[in-house]
Amino acid sequence: MLVAITRKVSPSIARCELTHLSRSGIDPVRAASQHETYCQALGEAGCQVVSMPAEPELPDSVFVEDGAVVLDEIAVLTRPGALSRRPEIPALRAELERYRPIAEITAPGTLDGGDVLQSGRTLWVGQSGRSNGEGIRQLGEILNRFGYVVIAVDIQGCLHLKTAVTRIGPETMLLNPAMVDGNHFPGFRCLEVDPGEPMAANALLVRETVIYPEAFPGTRRRMEQAGIQVLTVPADELARAEGGVTCCSIVLSE
């Protein structure tokens, strides 16, 4: 069984951290409605959805992916690069302890789960403003005993690695080549986003379905022409907070 851990939208989401976007009015009610539709899509894709309560004082807390890297053997709690996000971790720890043994990234390491892309026993980690070399080193040290390989990847012009690239099939990556070099992923077919949709590389693969923002029809057509099954959701309000569809859940096998 697949479990998708989610957290409801904070009413203070308009005060979220922003790095690459200008602050614009974020409607928390509309964001919450879009998040509910997203959770319904997770259910349609085959997940049992676990919904943690909203955190009124933690604006970014809906983006649960950044708080942990969860594999079959262990859950690694991160140390987010944004100081304001570190109070999100205790509640996530309490939830994940139900499913996995816990390890954690410690100071001076920083790591956001949005920088971690997994396929099999390989994890690529974006060297970003949120994840530093020490955090990546610690993740590798923790996971090495389970047979995983951790590879640091340079990115540019984006918040996280998964802004630039995500996996959309067993051997297929969706990426923006201006943000990350496809040569980091040997053996994978790299499907490029539509040139007019530079922020379109964030997609969530659940079993054989890709949950994907409806705002990027050009890239959606490219995926469908490549034989990818796509389920679209409205996500533009969450995107104003620099969040994507991977950010809003942690999908794990129970």
Which residues form the catalytic set? 160, 247
Rounded Cα gap, residues 119 and 113, in angstroms: 14
Q: What are the counts of helices (DSSP H) followed by strands (DSSP E) for the chain?
A: 6, 15
Rounded Cα gap, residues 138 and 134, in angstroms: 6
Cite the beta strand spans of 81-148 per DSSP E: 102-104, 116-119, 122-127
Structure tokens at 69: 């890297």
Structure tokens at 24: 């614009």
Structure tokens at 154: 């340079």
Structure tokens at 5: 């851990």
